[in-house]
Structure 1
Amino acid sequence: MKTEEEYIQDISQIRSMMERSTRFLSLTGWSGILAGVYALAGAYWAYRTYYVAGESLLYNTLDTPQLYAPAQPFFLLATSILVLAVGTAVLLSWKRARTKGEQLWNPAARRLVINLAIPLVTGGVFVLLLFAKGLVGLIAPATLIFYGLALVNAGKFTFEEVKYFGIIEILLGLLAMYFIGYGLLFWAIGFGLLHIVYGVYMHIKYER
């Protein structure tokens, strides 16, 4: 007959199996850290090369549906950072899943991607519309808000900390919307500094 400790161990194993089947647990802290480094490097480069006062960015082409010329490099830079960050996350998650003997693309991963993609795609279209209308000063707040919404939405299918991370991103986006001339600074904090802090926390808690 099983002892109490053996029953507790069996329950823990069942709980672990159920969690793995419903939650995507192959995310790594290093992917967050590297994403933050990419974002900080990109923000610094953008500030040194293309930064203009927030008022000109917001109101320059408000009544004319054309893209403000200096905004194009910002768009290419942000797209490059996104591709690099996503690529790094996929690669490191794949390595972690392989180490644990699990499949990366499982039902939990599919649910995570779908719930992450809906707010992200909506936000991407919204940002493109802001570009088209010349409302460049609203782009940094919008990216933070929609990214935060995506994280909150996806937090149900991975580590719970992701949801709280998303809430902080939303709050930062709202602050950036109010302090419209400091969008790049808030963007650097949200996508750079917070990613590094989150990545270090996740690495220490789940990977050491």
Structure 2
Amino acid sequence: MNENPQNQLKEIRSMMERSTRFMSLSGWTGIMAGIYSLLGAVAAYYVVYKMKFDEMVVPSNLETYGNGRPQHYDYPNGLIDLFSEKNILLFGIAAAVIFLSGTTAFYHSSIKAKKQGVQLWNSTSKRLFVQVAIPLIAGGIFCLALLVYGHAGLIAPAMLIFYGMALLNGSKYTLKEFHSLALCEIGLGLISLFFIGYGLYFWAIGFGVLHIIYGILMQKRYN
């Protein structure tokens, strides 16, 4: 250890931080997750706005928002078909984005943890996982209920808000920049509540653009 008292304090502080925070996140994880999300948004846009809805029975009391696009279907029986062609495609796109983002995060975090000489799956990463998973699972169920009852226009804002809450919940166990990203996601989700017809655009900004910006900043700051 360095004999300079100030350097000793810095090293002690750094060791304490590494013992209580998960420091193996890579900026490339954010960048790639943002790219996957933007590609997913493009694919979802095609599915939502370009596909023909031949199999859908749209009632006369269809509501539209802002740009005139139908975002909320008030079905007579109160439910919609979760396994329609459109929904299956959207679920597939979401699953692909989540799988690719998770795989990329695991790959880059494994490399960084190995360079740092620490275990990837330790008590800190376990706490981080639990704290992030709880709001994400709750948000996923909430969004599924919105879809079932036809409130499709509220899904994008809800996803952004719950995702931001998940990041905020886990920010005390990882990089401090998580806190800023969490507030941006929550704020963007709240704003999008007043622009329901444009939810997909806000989704692309929140999960795509913000992740890329965050990843670039992290890559420059920590690598």
**When the two structures are superposed, what TM-score results if normalisation uses the length of structure 2?**
0.86
Unaligned runs of 5+ in 1: none
Structure 1, residues 133-162: CA drift from partner, whole Å, max 9, x if none? 122111111110000000011111111110
Normalized per residue, the structure richer in helix is 1
Q: Is 1:77 aligned to residue 93 of structure 2? A: yes
CA contact (8 A) 2:47 2:89 kept: no
- Correspondence for 1:59 among 62, 69, 73: 73
Provide the C-alpha distance between the structure 1 equivalents of 2:24 and 2:138, rounded to a whole number of angstroms. 26
Off by >4 Å, runs of 4+ in structure 1? 52-55
- Correspondence for 2:19 among 18, 21, 34: 21
- Correspondence for 1:177 among 156, 173, 193: 193
Provide the C-alpha distance between the structure 2 equivalents of 1:153 and 1:92, rounded to a whole number of angstroms. 22
Counterpart in the other structure of 1:50: 48
What does 1:111-150 correspond to in 2, within 5 Å? Answer: 111-150=127-166
Provide the C-alpha distance between the structure 1 equivalents of 2:21 and 2:212, rounded to a whole number of angstroms. 23
- Aligned pair count reads 205
Counterpart in the other structure of 1:153: 169
Provide the C-alpha distance between the structure 2 equivalents of 1:166 and 1:51, rounded to a whole number of angstroms. 29
CA contact (8 A) 1:119 1:146 kept: yes
Q: Is 1:102 aligned to residue 118 of structure 2? A: yes
Provide the C-alpha distance between the structure 1 equivalents of 2:94 and 2:187, rounded to a whole number of angstroms. 21
Provide the C-alpha distance between the structure 2 equivalents of 1:142 and 1:63, rounded to a whole number of angstroms. 24
- Correspondence for 2:209 among 183, 193, 196: 193
Deviation, structure 1 residue 17:
1.1
Provide the C-alpha distance between the structure 2 equivalents of 1:21 and 1:28, rounded to a whole number of angstroms. 18
Question: Which letter maps to 2:202?
Answer: F
Which range moved further: 91-100 or 46-55? Answer: 46-55
Structure 1, residues 162-192: CA drift from partner, whole Å, max 9, x if none? 0110111011111111100000000000000
Deviation, structure 1 residue 63:
5.3
Q: Classify the secondary structure of the residue corresponding to 1:67.
A: coil
Deviation, structure 1 residue 59:
2.7
Provide the C-alpha distance between the structure 2 equivalents of 1:40 and 1:199, rounded to a whole number of angstroms. 14
Provide the C-alpha distance between the structure 1 equivalents of 2:186 and 2:77, rounded to a whole number of angstroms. 28
Structure 1, residues 58-116: CA drift from partner, whole Å, max 9, x if none? 13437521236323322221122012111111111011101221110111111111111
Q: CA RMSD in A?
A: 2.0
Question: Which letter maps to 1:88?
Answer: T
CA contact (8 A) 1:62 1:133 kept: no
CA contact (8 A) 2:154 2:196 kept: yes
Provide the C-alpha distance between the structure 2 equivalents of 1:198 and 1:137, rounded to a whole number of angstroms. 27
**When the two structures are superposed, what TM-score results if normalisation uses the length of structure 1?**
0.91
Q: Classify the secondary structure of the residue corresponding to 1:57.
A: strand
Unaligned runs of 5+ in 2: 51-63
